[in-house]
C-alpha cells in the first residue's frame, strides 16, 4: 500500500481536501522472474473505498496465486470470463478499480513475458487488424499520445487566464477547466471569456461541470460561452433527459463522463441512449468503468458513432499512467483504423486526460515518467516507448510503501472440549491479530470444513481475529468416546454442538464473539446467540433456518435424514456425495466453475461413522423450532440469502419480518440499531460463500463495524 504527496487536493469537487493519495501496487510474478505491475487507487468518485479494496485484493490474492495467466485473449470479453472460470468469482462483484488493477498487472505481465509493448498485446486481439495492410499501417503509426492539461479554476478570471497561459507556454494545446463551483454560471463564463481574450483561440478548451448545474443553470452557461469555441462541456447536468435536452437547445458540444461510470451489465446496449450527435466525446476512466476490457468496448462504441474516446486517469501514480498511455495509444490507433474502414476523416488528434500527472509531487518510484513536448512541437504528450520502458525497469521506492502483503498463512491447532460421554477434539484455524477484540467464529455447513472459509478469513484478517473450526464429524476433528458401548448415547444435535462451541469460545477468548454460520452452521449459530448472550455479540446466518414449525414436518424430516445417514454408512462417502449434490438446492452451485474442485474437498472427512451420526443427530427434524424464540433475540443478527435460493430467501424474509414484529425489546441492545438485518446476495444460490463471496465479505465487515460503534 502506497501513500504519495499531491501538490493540491483532487479536482473532483467532492474531495476531502487531502493532499495525499493512497492505493495499492500489485506485483504479479511468474516462475522465471517475469513481473507485471498494476495499481488500485480508488478515490471519492469510486463506489469503493480503500478498505473495500484491500479486502477484495486479499481475497483475490489467495485465489489468483495458482491460476494460469497466459490463457487470456484480451479485450473480447475473455478477461471477465477468466475471472469467472479461473477464480470462481462473478465479474460483476469485483470492484471496478480492483478489476482494472488486476487486469493492468496481467497485461503488463504478459507484455513482459512476450518482450513487447502492452499496446502490441492489445493490438494482437483486435479482429480489425487481421488484414495485413492494416497491421502495417498500425505498426508505422507515430507511437505517442497527446495529453490535456487539467486546471482547477480557482481565482479571478485573470488569474485563471494567466495559469492557462503558463500551461500553453509549457506546450499544452488542450486545457480542461473545472466549472460549476462559483456562485453562478455567469462567473464561470467570465473565466472562459478572459482566457480567450488573453490566450486567444489557438488552444482547445474543455469545461467540466461534474453535473453541478441544474438544467436552467447549464443553459445560462451555454448561452454565454456559445461564441467562445469550447471543444465541449462535460456533464453539465445530472440526468440523461436534461443532458439530451441541453444538446438540442444549447448548440454546445457535450462530453460524457459520470454518465458511463455506473453502466452495469452490458454497457454497449445502455450507451445507445447517448447516440445524439450533440454528444461529441466520451471520457473513459478505466478504473471507474471496470478495467481495460470495458474501456475498450466503450471506446469502440464511441468511434463507431463518430465520437472522441478520451482515456482519463483518476490521480493514479506513474504505474497507472504509464499503462494508460499505452492503452490510449491503442485506442487512438483503433479510431484511425475505424475511420479508414468507414471511409471518413477522423476527428483529428485527441488529447487524453492525463493532466493529473502534474499533481504528483511524489511517486512510487524514483524513476520519472516522461511527459514532454515532442521534437515537432505539436503539443504536450507521452511516448509509448517511454511508458513501456518505465514499467519494464520499474523499481518501487520502499519509502513510499506503508505496508506490504504477501501470502498469509493460517495458524492451525487443536483444542479438546469435553461433552457428555465423549470429548471433541477441534481442529482450529486462525488468522489476524490475536489481541484484536473483534473475534469472528466461522461455522461451515454439512460436508464442509474450516478450509471453506480460508479466502474470506484472509480478506477479513486486518479487521478482526478470525477463527474457523472443523465441526464434529467433519474434516480433521475427532470424537473421542470414553466408552465404546455408549456411542449411541453421544448427542450431536444442534443444541449439543452449540454447547460444545460455547465451551470452545471460552477457551479461545475472554471477550465476545460474532458467529458466522452457513446452512447447518447457521442453525448452530442461531442456537448459540439465543442460548448464551454474554459470549455472543452478534451472528451472521447464511442460508439458515430456525427449524420446522410443525411436528409432522419434523417427523418426516427426521426419517429422511436417518435414511440418508444409513445410505452414507452403507454405500460410502463417494456415492453419498454424488447423491447429495444432485438435489435441487444445489442447482446453481453445480453450474459454478469450481464445483468439481469443491466436491473433491468433500471426500476428505476422516470418519464416516461420525459424519453419518452428525447427519442424523443434527437433522432439522430433531432440532427444536426456534421461530418462537426469535422474540427473545437480544443481539444483532445479519441474515444472508442467495438471490437464486428461493426457499431460503423466503425463510430469511419471514425471520426478519417476525423478529421485527415483536416490537421494542427490553434487552440490553443499542437503541438505534435494528436487531435483524437481511441482505440478498446476487448471482448466488444456497452456497453464497462459494458462489459469490465478495459481497458477503463486505457485508460482514460492515456488520462488525456497526457492532463495535460506540
pLDDT in tens, 468-483: 999 999 999 998 875 6
**What are the b/e assignments for 317-351, b being 16+ CB within 10 Å?**
bbbbbbbbbbbbbbbbbbbebbeeeeeeebeeebb
Taking CA atoms, 586 is separated from 578, 579, 700, in Å, by 11, 11, 23
Say which residue the cell 473480447 belongs to: 76
Q: Which residues pair with 206 in a beta bridge?
A: 176, 232
- Tell me what pLDDT residue 634 has: 87
- Tell me what pLDDT residue 527 has: 95
Answer yes or no: is pLDDT of 120 > 90: no
- Tell me what pLDDT residue 513 has: 96
Do both 110 and 149 map to the same domain?
Answer: no
74 near 121, Cβ under 8 Å?
yes
pLDDT band at 671 (very low <50, low <70, confident <90, very high): very low
Of 291, 207, 280, whose CA–CA distance to 38 is shortest? 291
369 near 387, Cβ under 8 Å?
yes
**Which stretches of 132-262 are DSSP H helices?**
132-140, 157-170, 185-199, 215-225, 240-250, 258-261
pLDDT band at 180 (very low <50, low <70, confident <90, very high): very high
The mean pLDDT value of the chain amounts to 89
Do both 392 and 443 map to the same domain?
Answer: no
Do both 175 and 69 map to the same domain?
Answer: no
Please give the full DSSP string across 11-34, using - where no structure is assigned: SSS-----SEEEEEEEEEE-TTS-
Of 7-21, 37-51, 513-527, which gets the smallest average pLDDT?
7-21
Average pLDDT over residues 192-201: 96
Ramachandran region, residue 60 (left: φ > 0; alpha: ψ -120 to 50; beta: rest)? alpha
Taking CA atoms, 154 is separated from 162, 177, 212, 281, in Å, by 12, 10, 16, 25
CATH number of the structural domain spanning residue 467: 3.40.50.1820
And the C-alpha cell for 528?
Answer: 448459540
Question: Structurally, how many domains does the chain consist of?
Answer: 3
- Tell me what pLDDT residue 118 has: 86
Average pLDDT over residues 335-350: 78
- Tell me what pLDDT residue 483 has: 62
Please give the full DSSP string across 390-411, using - where no structure is assigned: HHHT--B-GGGBS----PPPPE
CATH number of the structural domain spanning residue 279: 3.20.20.120
142: which residues sit within 8 A by CB, 6+ positions away?
A: none
pLDDT band at 74 (very low <50, low <70, confident <90, very high): low
Of 28-37, 45-54, 216-225, which gets the smallest average pLDDT?
28-37
Query: Looking at 378, 400, 422, which one is the last position of a domain?
Result: 400
pLDDT band at 673 (very low <50, low <70, confident <90, very high): very low
613 catalytic per annotation: no
Distance CA 543, CA 646 (A): 10
Residue 674 C-alpha from the chain's centroid: 27
**What is the length of the chain?**
710
Of 296, 269, 265, 293, whose CA–CA distance to 282 is shortest? 296
Do both 429 and 356 map to the same domain?
Answer: no
Average pLDDT over residues 112-131: 70
370 catalytic per annotation: no
Of 122-126, 249-253, 315-319, 610-614, which gets the smallest average pLDDT?
122-126
- Tell me what pLDDT residue 14 has: 61
Is residue 210, in this structure, part of any structural domain at all? yes
Answer yes or no: is pLDDT of 166 > 90: yes
Is residue 478, in this structure, part of any structural domain at all? yes
Number of Cβ within 10 Å of residue 29's Cβ equals: 12
Distance CA 80, CA 28 (A): 18
Of 405, 71, 13, whose CA–CA distance to 212 is shortest? 13
CATH number of the structural domain spanning residue 14: 3.30.390.10
Do both 149 and 263 map to the same domain?
Answer: yes
- Single out the catalytic residue among 99, 178, 212, 285: 285
pLDDT in tens, 247-273: 999 999 999 999 998 776 667 778 989
Answer yes or no: is pLDDT of 87 > 70: yes
- Tell me what pLDDT residue 177 has: 96
Do both 449 and 319 map to the same domain?
Answer: no
pLDDT band at 38 (very low <50, low <70, confident <90, very high): very high
Query: Looking at 400, 432, 467, which one is the last position of a domain?
Result: 400
pLDDT in tens, 544-557: 999 999 999 999 99
Distance CA 99, CA 574 (A): 38
Is residue 192, in this structure, part of any structural domain at all? yes
Answer yes or no: is pLDDT of 7 > 90: no
Answer yes or no: is pLDDT of 517 > 50: yes
Average pLDDT over residues 192-220: 96
Distance CA 13, CA 314 (A): 13
Do both 288 and 352 map to the same domain?
Answer: yes
Is residue 183, in this structure, part of any structural domain at all? yes
Do both 319 and 421 map to the same domain?
Answer: no
Average pLDDT over residues 333-360: 84
Could you list the residue range(s) of the whole structural domain that residue 206 is in?
142-400
Query: Looking at 331, 366, 400, which one is the last position of a domain?
Result: 400
Average pLDDT over residues 74-99: 86
Do both 322 and 468 map to the same domain?
Answer: no
Ramachandran region, residue 572 (left: φ > 0; alpha: ψ -120 to 50; beta: rest)? left
Pairing of β 422-431 and β 465-469: antiparallel
- Tell me what pLDDT residue 485 has: 58
Is residue 36, in this structure, part of any structural domain at all? yes
Say which residue the cell 511516448 belongs to: 383
Is residue 607, in this structure, part of any structural domain at all? no
Number of Cβ within 10 Å of residue 433's Cβ equals: 12
pLDDT band at 64 (very low <50, low <70, confident <90, very high): confident
Average pLDDT over residues 433-442: 93
- Tell me what pLDDT residue 252 has: 95
Half-sphere exposure of 197 (CA within 13 A, CB side): 12
Do both 199 and 338 map to the same domain?
Answer: yes
Answer yes or no: is pLDDT of 669 > 50: no
Do both 225 and 330 map to the same domain?
Answer: yes
Is residue 388, in this structure, part of any structural domain at all? yes
Do both 203 and 238 map to the same domain?
Answer: yes
Q: Which residues pair with 21 in a beta bridge?
A: 4
pLDDT in tens, 532-541: 668 999 999 9
Is residue 127, in this structure, part of any structural domain at all? no
Angle at 299 between CA 296 and CA 303, to 5 degrees: 135
And the C-alpha cell for 257?
Answer: 463522463
Average pLDDT over residues 6-15: 73
83 near 40, Cβ under 8 Å?
no
Amino acid at each position: 500500500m502506497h501513500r504519495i504527496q499531491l501538490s493540491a487536493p483532487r479536482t473532483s469537487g467532492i474531495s476531502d481536501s487531502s493532499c495525499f493519495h493512497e492505493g495499492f501496487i500489485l506485483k504479479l510474478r511468474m516462475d522465471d522472474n517475469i513481473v507485471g505491475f498494476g495499481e488500485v487507487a480508488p478515490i471519492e468518485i469510486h463506489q469503493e473505498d480503500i478498505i473495500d479494496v484491500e479486502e477484495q485484493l486479499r481475497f483475490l490474492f489467495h485465489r489468483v496465486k495458482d491460476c494460469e495467466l497466459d490463457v487470456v485473449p484480451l479485450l473480447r470479453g475473455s478477461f471477465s470470463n477468466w475471472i469467472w472460470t479461473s477464480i470462481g468469482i462473478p465479474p460483476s462483484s469485483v470492484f471496478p478499480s480492483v478489476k482494472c488493477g488486476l487486469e493492468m498487472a496481467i497485461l503488463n505481465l504478459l507484455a513482459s513475458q512476450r518482450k513487447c509493448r502492452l499496446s502490441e498485446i492489445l493490438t494482437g486481439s483486435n479482429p480489425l487488424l487481421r488484414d495485413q495492410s492494416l497491421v502495417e499501417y498500425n505498426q508505422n503509426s507515430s507511437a505517442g499520445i497527446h495529453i490535456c492539461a487539467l486546471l482547477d479554476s480557482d481565482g479571478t478570471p485573470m488569474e485563471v487566464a494567466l495559469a492557462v497561459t503558463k500551461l500553453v507556454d509549457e506546450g499544452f494545446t488542450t486545457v480542461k477547466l473545472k466549472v460549476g463551483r462559483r456562485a453562478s454560471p455567469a462567473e464561470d463564463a467570465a473565466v472562459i471569456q478572459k482566457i480567450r481574450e488573453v490566450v486567444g483561440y489557438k488552444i482547445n478548451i474543455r469545461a467540466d461541470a461534474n453535473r453541478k448545474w441544474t438544467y436552467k443553470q447549464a443553459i445560462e452557461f451555454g448561452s454565454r460561452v456559445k461564441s467562445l469555441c469550447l471543444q465541449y462541456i462535460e456533464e453539465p447536468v445530472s440526468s440523461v433527459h436534461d443532458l439530451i435536452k441541453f444538446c438540442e437547445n444549447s448548440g454546445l458540444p457535450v462530453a460524457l463522463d459520470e454518465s458511463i461510470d455506473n453502466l452495469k451489465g452490458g454497457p454497449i446496449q445502455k450507451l445507445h441512449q447517448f447516440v445524439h450527435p450533440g454528444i461529441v466525446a466520451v471520457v473513459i476512466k478505466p478504473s471507474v468503468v471496470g478495467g481495460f476490457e470495458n474501456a475498450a468496448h466503450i471506446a469502440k462504441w464511441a468511434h463507431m458513432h463518430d465520437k472522441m474516446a478520451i482515456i482519463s486517469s483518476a490521480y493514479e501514480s506513474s504505474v497507472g499512467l504509464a499503462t494508460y498511455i499505452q492503452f490510449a495509444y491503442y485506442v487512438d490507433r483503433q479510431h484511425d483504423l475505424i475511420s479508414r474502414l468507414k471511409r471518413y476523416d477522423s476527428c483529428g488528434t485527441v488529447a487524453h486526460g492525463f493532466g493529473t500527472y502534474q499533481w504528483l509531487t511524489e511517486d512510487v518510484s524514483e524513476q520519472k515518467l516522461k511527459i514532454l513536448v515532442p521534437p515537432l512541437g505539436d503539443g504536450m504528450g507521452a511516448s509509448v516507448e517511454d511508458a513501456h520502458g518505465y514499467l519494464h525497469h520499474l523499481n518501487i521506492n520502499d519509502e513510499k510503501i506503508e505496508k506490504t502483503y504477501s501470502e498469509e498463512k493460517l495458524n492451525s491447532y487443536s483444542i479438546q472440549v469435553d461433552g457428555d460421554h465423549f470429548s471433541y477434539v477441534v481442529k482450529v484455524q486462525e488468522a489476524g491479530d490475536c489481541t484484536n477484540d473483534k473475534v469472528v467464529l466461522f461455522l461451515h455447513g454439512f460436508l464442509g470444513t474450516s478450509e471453506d472459509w480460508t479466502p474470506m478469513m484472509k480478506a477479513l484478517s486486518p479487521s478482526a481475529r478470525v477463527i474457523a473450526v472443523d465441526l464434529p464429524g467433519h474434516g480433521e476433528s475427532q470424537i473421542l468416546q470414553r466408552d465404546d458401548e455408549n456411542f449411541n448415547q453421544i448427542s450431536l444435535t444442534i443444541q449439543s454442538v452449540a454447547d460444545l462451541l460455547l465451551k470452545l469460545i471460552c477457551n479461545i477468548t475472554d471477550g465476545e464473539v460474532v458467529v458466522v454460520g452457513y446452512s447447518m452452521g447457521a442453525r448452530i449459530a442461531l442456537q448459540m446467540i439465543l442460548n448464551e448472550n454474554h459470549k455472543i455479540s452478534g451472528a451472521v446466518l447464511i442460508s439458515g433456518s430456525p427449524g420446522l414449525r410443525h411436528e409432522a414436518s419434523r417427523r418426516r424430516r427426521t426419517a429422511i435424514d436417518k435414511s440418508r445417514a444409513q445410505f452414507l454408512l452403507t454405500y460410502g462417502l463417494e456415492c453419498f456425495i454424488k447423491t447429495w449434490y444432485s438435489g435441487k438446492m444445489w442447482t446453481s452451485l453445480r453450474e459454478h466453475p469450481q464445483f468439481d474442485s469443491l466436491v473433491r474437498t468433500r471426500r476428505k472427512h476422516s470418519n464416516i461413522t461420525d459424519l453419518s451420526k452428525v447427519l442424523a443427530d443434527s437433522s432439522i427434524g430433531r432440532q427444536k423450532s426456534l421461530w418462537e424464540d426469535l422474540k427473545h433475540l437480544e443481539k444483532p443478527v445479519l441474515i444472508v440469502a442467495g438471490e437464486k435460493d428461493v426457499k431460503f430467501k423466503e425463510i430469511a424474509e419471514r425471520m426478519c419480518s417476525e423478529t421485527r414484529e415483536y416490537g421494542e425489546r427490553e434487552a440490553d441492545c443499542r437503541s438505534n440499531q435494528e436487531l435483524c438485518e437481511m441482505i440478498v446476495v446476487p448471482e448466488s444460490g444456497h452456497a453464497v460463500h462459494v458462489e459469490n463471496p465478495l459481497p458477503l465479505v463486505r457485508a460482514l465487515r460492515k456488520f462488525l463495524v456497526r457492532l463495535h460503534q460506540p
